C-alpha cells in the first residue's frame, strides 16, 4: 500500500535502537526525509551509517542530543528548517520503564518518572506544534505503553506518567484539530529487541518471563519493533487522515480493560 508519505519530513525522538530505529527505517522505506536522534553519539552514528547504506545519504539526518531539553529541541528544529523546512510528523518515542517497585516511593521517584515519561514528550510537542498549526498540516504520534491503560506490575510512577501522556494526547487532539493537526498514541506491550529491558529480563529470569508471556499474552510471544513501527507510520499517513485522539494498542491481546 502506498501511504503517500514520499518526501515528508519526519522527526523521531529516540531512534538509535528498538522501536524508534524500526520506525525510522519504516519511514525511510516510504521515501521520507527522516531525522533520527539519540543521546549516545556512537550509537546514533552507527544507525545513521546503517541507514545510509540502505537508503542513501540524502534522506537521512542525525541529531545528537537530549530531546527532553528545550534548548536542544530548538537547536534540532532549526537544523531541520535549514535543510528541509517544516516537519510533517513528529514521533515522541521518549521514556523509560526503570523505577522503584512497590508503593514506598519518594518525591524523587515520582519526579524522575514524570520528567522522562511525560514532560519530555510534552516539551517536544509544544515546540513543534506552532509551525504545524501555522501550516495547517501535521501529525504527532506519542509512544506510550499499556502500563498507562490498566494495572500491571510496572513501577507505579512510570505507569501514572504514561497514563498522563495518553490523556495529554487525547486533549491535545481536540485542541489542535481545528488546525488540521492530528495527535495519536500508540501503546506497545512487551517488545523484545537488542539492548532493551526485556532482553535483560530474559537473561536474568528467563523461566519466569516465559511463563508470564505464555499466560498473559494470548499470542504467546513478544512483539517486534517493526510491528509497532508499522502502526506508527500508518497513523502518520493520509490513510489515517480521520484518526485523531486515538490510542492504538499493539500488545498481542494482553490488555483486558479496553
State the Cα–Cα distance between residues 33 and 10, nearest whole angstrom.
6
As a whole number of angstroms, the distance between CA 145 and CA 167 comes to: 12
List the grid coordinates of 149.
Answer: 491503560
Adjacency order of strands within the sheet including 181-188: 60-64, 33-38, 9-13, 89-92, 138-143, 181-188, 247-250
pLDDT single digits (tens) 127-171 = 999 999 999 999 999 999 999 999 888 889 999 999 999 999 999
User: Do 204 and 212 form a contact (C-beta atoms < 8 A)?
Assistant: no
Question: Which phi and psi (to 5°) does residue 6 adopt?
Answer: -55, 130
* Residue ranges in the chain modelled with pLDDT below 50: none
Report field, pTM of the whole predicted structure over 0.85: yes
Q: What does the pLDDT read at residue 200?
A: 76
Q: H/E/C letters for each residue in 108-152?
A: HHHHHHHHHHHHHHHHHHHHHHHHHHHHCCEEEEEECCHHHCCCC
Report yes or no: 212 and 153 within 8 Å, Cβ to Cβ. no
pLDDT in tens, 217-233: 999 999 999 999 999 99
Residue-level pLDDT at 68: 87
Distance CA(166)–CA(141), nearest Å, equals 11
Contact 185, 142 (CB under 8 A): yes
Q: What's the angle, vertex CA 155, arms to CA 42 and CA 219, rounded to 5? A: 80
Amino acid at each position: 500500500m502506498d501511504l503517500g508519505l514520499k518526501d515528508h519530513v519526519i522527526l523521531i525522538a529516540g531512534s538509535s535502537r528498538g522501536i524508534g530505529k524500526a520506525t525510522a527505517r519504516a519511514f525511510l522505506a516510504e521515501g521520507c526525509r527522516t531525522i533520527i536522534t539519540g543521546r549516545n553519539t556512537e550509537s546514533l552514528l552507527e544507525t545513521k551509517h546503517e541507514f545510509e547504506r540502505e537508503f542513501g545519504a540524502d534522506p537521512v539526518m542525525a541529531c545528537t542530543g537530549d530531546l527532553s531539553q528545550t534548548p536542544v529541541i530548538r537547536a534540532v528544529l532549526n537544523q531541520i528548517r535549514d535543510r528541509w523546512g517544516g516537519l510533517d510528523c513528529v514521533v515522541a518515542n521518549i521514556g523509560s520503564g526503570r523505577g522503584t517497585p512497590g508503593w514506598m516511593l519518594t518525591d524523587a521517584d515520582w519526579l524522575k518518572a514524570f520528567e522522562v515519561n511525560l514532560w519530555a514528550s510534552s516539551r517536544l510537542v509544544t515546540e513543534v506544534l506552532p509551525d504545524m498549526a501555522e501550516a495547517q498540516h501535521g501529525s504527532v504520534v506519542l509512544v506510550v505503553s499499556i502500563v498507562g491503560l490498566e494495572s500491571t506490575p510496572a513501577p507505579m510512577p512510570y505507569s501514572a506518567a504514561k497514563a498522563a501522556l495518553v490523556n495529554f494526547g487525547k486533549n491535545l487532539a481536540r485542541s489542535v484539530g481545528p488546525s488540521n493537526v492530528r495527535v495519536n498514541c500508540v501503546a506497545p506491550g512487551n517488545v523484545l529487541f537488542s539492548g532493551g529491558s526485556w532482553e535483560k529480563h530474559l537473561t536474568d529470569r528467563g523461566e519466569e518471563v516465559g511463563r508470564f508471556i505464555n499466560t498473559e499474552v494470548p499470542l504467546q510471544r513478544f512483539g517486534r519493533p517493526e510491528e509497532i513501527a508499522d502502526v506508527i507510520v500508518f497513523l502518520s499517513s493520509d490513510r489515517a487522515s480521520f484518526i485523531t485522539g486515538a490510542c492504538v494498542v499493539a500488545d498481542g491481546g494482553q490488555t483486558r480493560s479496553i
